Amino acid sequence: MCRPKQDNQNLRILPDLVQIDHVLSQNIQLQNQVNQLQAALRQQQAATIAAYLIGASERADLKREIKT
């Protein structure tokens, strides 16, 4: 017994849906990686700024000590 034509069309669509699902899954994984990298970058930027400000503060303190 043959399958109805509609069933055959649905079976042809199935590989496309599997591929779309795979692409969406990869997209979600990549977005998660981007979010993690952005968070790490923000932490690194904050640490760099803090180190710069500490260094600037120490230099200002040293200049004040030299003047007095």
Which of 19-45 are b and which e, b meaning 16 or more Cβ less than 10 Å from the residue's Cβ? eeeeeeeeeeeeeeeeeeeeeeeeeee
d(CA 9, CA 52): 64
**Average pLDDT over the chain, rounded to an integer:** 90
Quick one: pLDDT at residue 25?
A: 98
pLDDT bracket for residue 2 (50, 70, 90): low
d(CA 15, CA 49): 51
Domain assignments of the chain as residue spans, ordered by start: 36-67
Span 30-40, average pLDDT: 99
Span 36-53, average pLDDT: 98
Span 27-50, average pLDDT: 99
